[in-house]
Amino acid sequence: MRHLHRLLLGALLLGFVLYSCNPDVEDPRDKFTGTWLADEGNNMKYNVSISLDPNNNKRILFYNFHNFGAAEHVYGEVDGFNVTIPFQQACQGTYQIQGSGIMNSAKTVITLNYTVDDGANKETYNVIYTKQS
């Protein structure tokens, strides 16, 4: 019986050591988080903050997307270096947003293509996000 307790204790300790030596798995969304400078061209530049969606492990949240304001956000779904902005409403339903983008391998630039529809006009934007922090 004493031998069995030592064997179980040894197995438990070995399992703990092996588990604690495994590196943490990186969240694939992490590379998107931070502050980005959005450049729409025509001297239209503004900061966008991207954070993880705590309620969905595939989503990121773009705050101040399309310069809508720091309290406004839209979400994107991450797949590797790609992000999809599915059809959604922003600014209390006054705008409909949809698009996609890709991050460069250095993780410093995101190229986004999206549409903004306010009900009267639907415009397409090609925006370059450059990592600030």
Give 41-76 pLDDT, tens digit per residue.
Answer: 999 999 999 999 999 999 999 999 999 999 999 999
Range of the domain at 77: 30-131
Cα–Cα distance between 115 and 41 in angstroms, integer? 15
Evaluate whether residue 12 is within a structural domain: no
Q: Residue 51: which CATH number?
A: 2.40.128.420
Structure confidence at residue 21 as a pLDDT band (50, 70, 90): low
Helix (H, G, I), strand (E, B) or coil at 73: strand
Q: Into how many domains does the chain fold?
A: 1
Evaluate whether residue 71 is within a structural domain: yes
Evaluate whether residue 4 is within a structural domain: no
Evaluate whether residue 113 is within a structural domain: yes
| pTM confidence score | 0.81
Evaluate whether residue 99 is within a structural domain: yes
User: Which amino acid does the sequence have at 6?
Assistant: R
| Position 17 pLDDT exceeds 50 | no
User: Taking CA 130 as the corner, what is the angle to CA 86 and CA 118, rounded to the nearest 5 degrees?
Assistant: 40
